Amino acid sequence: MDERLKELKREYEQALPVSFTQKDRERILEKINKKQGKITPPAIFPKALTALFYAATFFIGFYFIHEQFFPAEPGKEEKRAQSSLEESGQAKYTLLTEEDDLFLTFDPETLQPGDQVGSFTVESISEKDGKETIVFVTGENGNGEIHGDLYSEQNQFWFIPDKKSLSDFPIAAEDIGKKLFFTFSGEVQERLKNEFDQLQAGSVAYAEWRSDKKIKIFPNYALRVAEIRYERDPDRPTVILGVHPNADPGGGNGPDGRTYHTSIELDGKLKNIYHQYAQTLDDRLLDGLKPVDVFKLYIHAMGSGDKNVQYALLIKDEKYGGVPDQETYFSDPEGVTAENEKKFYDDLKSVSSFTEKYLSDEEAVIGFSAQGRDFAFRICIDPDSKVWKVPPMAMQ
């Protein structure tokens, strides 16, 4: 048995040598030399990613540090916002919706020349190149008054009216829910440009007109429209506004002011608002009114001796000096003030025109002549209700 085991061991050692011979050394050395002769390419891609990561981190960090310690120059954000506005085109169209529930609509399919729509009369209906144009006109005095924001780009003007001022304005029923483009006839375009070119330095409108803005905006602009060319279009209906030849586009006084040929007495619309306001004193009823409208309401209350309405129309914010309680404010033991106010109101009934001039977006002055002298009556935006109201010591 032992002899058999010894024999098997000899066979195993011969088949699998366990010693490290010279031949083995030479074979291993040869493999090492071959390995060193090969050039292993560097790991470029992972290193590039690492460099890109560090570069991005640096620039992001630099941007935030720059914005924090070196803010954008004044007006830069305004230019960005205006650029966005220009690209979107949102400043060119007026979207009227059923929810507004304000408009005097007409059916173009049944409309005939001579029909009356609000304060406008249908003068003609014509068709050219497959598009129908309806021409509306007002009386010779051009009483179709609307107000809103006037826009200009490269001396071309368009208008975005305040929706409430369109309550007596003809709107096609088919255009509710569409974007309308309100613009001007060629004659009015030229007259508007001339008006703005002749503005005197120092006014709000002058600064805007002379600015480098691509689109210039003139808020609270009033127009007395004498003619409307209503162009029907399924995609973009257009309303071209014309102004009576004897009336200036701004109502008589140019871009910074306008003249209203009207009486101090309230018309039907303002009379209705006055009655509702007297019952509720709800400032929301004043939303959308112009300074001259609020002036009329206040003067009417003064002439009627309605101290509740007078006091409610006053701005009580400390920004304008504040006002005491109602009893103290109207203290008039001998009734002299009330008598003088009643006489002043009666004298104003003979005044046939009032000017409205904006000193800023938050302040306007109503000018008129009475009792042999010129008056100026201030109207300002109430900081609380954000509507036009009367500051203390308004009469100047």
Task: Judge whether 99 lies within some domain.
Answer: yes
101 shares a domain with 176 = yes
What per-residue confidence (pLDDT) applies to 181?
94
Q: Percent of the chain scored above 90 by pLDDT?
A: 22
From CA 141, how far away is CA 90, in angstroms rounded? 33
What per-residue confidence (pLDDT) applies to 42?
47
354 shares a domain with 239 = no
The per-residue pLDDT for range 180-213, each reduced to its tens digit, is 999 998 888 988 888 888 776 666 778 888 899 9
99 shares a domain with 163 = yes
Look at the alpha carbons of 262, 265, 291, 139 in this order and tell me if their dihedral is positive or negative: negative
Worst-scoring range by mean pLDDT, 83-87, 310-314, 324-328, 366-370? 83-87
227 shares a domain with 334 = no
The per-residue pLDDT for range 298-325, each reduced to its tens digit, is 999 988 888 899 999 999 888 877 787 8
- When mean pLDDT is compared over 56-65, 194-203, 240-249, 353-362, the highest value belongs to 353-362
Range of the domain at 294: 268-389
282 shares a domain with 232 = no
Task: Judge whether 242 lies within some domain.
Answer: yes
Please spell the DSSP secondary structure of 274-291, one letter per residue: HHHHHHH--GGGGTT--H
359 shares a domain with 276 = yes
103 versus 302: which is more confidently predicted?
A: 302
Task: Judge whether 159 lies within some domain.
Answer: yes
Task: Kindly report the average pLDDT of the chain as a whole number.
Answer: 75
The per-residue pLDDT for range 23-68, each reduced to its tens digit, is 555 564 565 455 444 444 444 445 554 555 555 555 555 444 444 4
Domain boundary among 192, 225, 251: 251
- Residues 27/32/34/36 CA torsion (nearest 10 deg): -170
Task: Judge whether 14 lies within some domain.
Answer: no
| Domain count within the chain | 2
Q: Which residues pair with 148 in a beta bridge?
A: 161, 221
pLDDT-derived band of residue 219, with 50, 70 and 90 as boundaries? confident
228 shares a domain with 276 = no
235 shares a domain with 347 = no
What per-residue confidence (pLDDT) applies to 117?
87
What per-residue confidence (pLDDT) applies to 56?
54
C-alpha distances (whole Å) from 55 to each of 49, 58, 62, 147, 206 are: 10, 5, 11, 55, 48
219 shares a domain with 110 = yes
242 shares a domain with 168 = yes
Worst-scoring range by mean pLDDT, 2-11, 116-125, 224-233? 2-11
What per-residue confidence (pLDDT) applies to 57?
54
The per-residue pLDDT for range 121-146, each reduced to its tens digit, is 899 999 888 889 999 988 654 457 77
Task: Judge whether 39 lies within some domain.
Answer: no
State the pTM of this model.
0.50
**pLDDT for 72 beyond 60:** no
The per-residue pLDDT for range 154-183, each reduced to its tens digit, is 989 999 988 777 877 889 999 998 899 999
190 shares a domain with 302 = no
What per-residue confidence (pLDDT) applies to 143?
56
224 shares a domain with 134 = yes
Domain boundary among 251, 286, 315: 251
What per-residue confidence (pLDDT) applies to 153?
92
Comparing CA positions, the residue from 267, 272, 253 lying closest to residue 368 is: 253
CATH of the domain at 330: 3.10.450
